[in-house]
Structure 1
Amino acid sequence: MPRYEYRCRSCGDTFELSRPMSESAAPAQCPAGHADTVKLLSTVAVGGSGPSSASAPQGGGGCCGGGCCG
């Protein structure tokens, strides 16, 4: 189940909740009982077995390397 991070606007506390994706936009209550919270944007690093950018071929396929910038 995904974890979402929230910050309470009343007390400044940051907390996480595990909830289904279908409830990701639902309001969340702060552990101290405050209702004025905001969901924070999180960056997620996902590892894989594909080639890293250091070993990828240079000069082709990327936006600026492929010539689509201009």
Structure 2
Amino acid sequence: MPRYEYRCRTCGDTFELSRPMAESAAPATCPTGHPDTVKLLSTVAVSGVAAPSSRPAPAGGGGGCCGGGCCS
């Protein structure tokens, strides 16, 4: 289930809620009870190294025309 971040306009606290995408625009109440909140725009950062492929490299040098020996 997606998590959405909100900020309370009354006390300034930020909080997260897990809710279905269909309810992403529904009003959210601050954990301290304030009803005046705004949904924040979230960004996702993905970093890391891709896992190595489980498939072996093609035999014969592969790599398209220039790597396959057809450019003589």
- Same fold (TM > 0.5): yes
Aligned to 2:35: 35
The Cα of 1:33 is off from its aligned counterpart by 0.1
The Cα of 1:45 is off from its aligned counterpart by 2.0
Q: Using the alignment, how far apart are the partners of 1:44 and 1:22 within structure 2?
A: 20
The percent identity for this pair of structures is 84
Q: Using the alignment, how far apart are the partners of 1:7 and 1:28 within structure 2?
A: 9
Give the TM-score normalised by the residue count of structure 1: 0.65
Query: Which structure has the larger Rg over C-alpha atoms?
Result: 2
Q: Using the alignment, how far apart are the partners of 2:21 and 2:44 within structure 1?
A: 15
Aligned to 1:66: none
Give the TM-score normalised by the residue count of structure 2: 0.63
- The RMSD of aligned alpha carbons is 1.3
1:22 aligns with 2:10: no
Aligned to 1:2: 2
**Unaligned 5+ runs, structure 2:** 51-72
Between Structure 1 and Structure 2, how many residues are aligned? Answer: 49
The Cα of 1:34 is off from its aligned counterpart by 0.3
Give the SS at the match of 2:44: coil
